[in-house]
Amino acid sequence: MNEVHSDILRILKEKSVLKQEVYDHTLETMDKIKEILKETVHYFNNELRDTDKRVHLEYTDRGEMEAQLKIAGDMLIFSMHSNVFEFNREHPVWQLPYLKDDKTNSYCGIINIFNFLADSFKYNRFDDLGYLIGRIFINRQNHFMVEGKRQFGFFYNNFGKDILTRENLKQIIDNAIRYALDFDLLVPPYDAVKVVTVGQIHQKMENARISTGKRLGFTFNSDDVSNP
């Protein structure tokens, strides 16, 4: 056996098996999220039974790796990435002894949480903007951390100490709902919308597709993740 073949076998036995373990943990987490979302819908709709039906919650399973939760005028998408990642070298997580002692602990699956306007889906406004408000990292030992906006920026950042539990996931989902409801739609600057094409106005009449987002004109990357 030559050296290249030996390296290939080592990688398959070690790193590739490791990544499969991470993937399995992440998929199990996605299944738990779906269960909690269903319970959340049942709980809040029961509490809202005498309230306007338009503000009731709706859960939709969008396949093995994705689920959506409609809350009044908002839509939360929980989306698991099919691949396993390693933190980039500039990420502060590398300062933790947990990763310094064992580099393999850095391999994580990711579940992203996106916030869209519910009308973007209702009217098929494909140019509308959504925002990444949080992402959950899970490794092979079921240790986890969450990166994100406001509520997410201050909790669940003890990677290597925190073990992902059902209660953690319930808190993460509650925080996502609260954030979406607090994150209001802003009127875009006049100069950003004062000119439209004939094609855009036709699309508007047919499908209401003029681009809309909660912070029209700004991407998630322009926001400081640390700012509440």
Domains of the chain, by residue range, sit at 3-222
Percent of the chain with pLDDT over 90: 51
Is the predicted pLDDT of residue 222 greater than 60, yes or no? no
Measured CA to CA, the distance from residue 41 to residue 70 in angstroms comes to 9
Task: Answer for the pair 117, 185: CB distance below 8 angstroms, yes or no.
Answer: yes
Would you place residue 54 in the very low, low, confident or very high pLDDT band (cuts 50, 70, 90)? Answer: confident
Provide the CA 141 distance to its chain's centre, in angstroms.
21
Backbone torsions φ then ψ of 223, nearest 5 degrees: -90, 145
Would you place residue 5 in the very low, low, confident or very high pLDDT band (cuts 50, 70, 90)? Answer: confident
Q: Averaged over 35-59, what is the pLDDT? A: 95
**Joined tokens for residue 95:** 């300062």
Q: What is the DSSP-derived secondary structure letter of residue 222?
A: G
Measured CA to CA, the distance from residue 62 to residue 34 in angstroms comes to 10
Would you place residue 156 in the very low, low, confident or very high pLDDT band (cuts 50, 70, 90)? Answer: low
Would you place residue 171 in the very low, low, confident or very high pLDDT band (cuts 50, 70, 90)? Answer: very high
Distance (Å) of CA 76 to CA 130, 133, 171, 196: 9, 9, 15, 29
- Check residue 169 and give its pLDDT: 95
Measured CA to CA, the distance from residue 88 to residue 74 in angstroms comes to 32
Least confident of 114-128, 170-184, 194-208: 194-208
- Check residue 163 and give its pLDDT: 93
- Check residue 12 and give its pLDDT: 77
Least confident of 9-23, 75-89, 129-143, 180-194: 180-194
- Tokens 């809202």 sit at which residue? 48
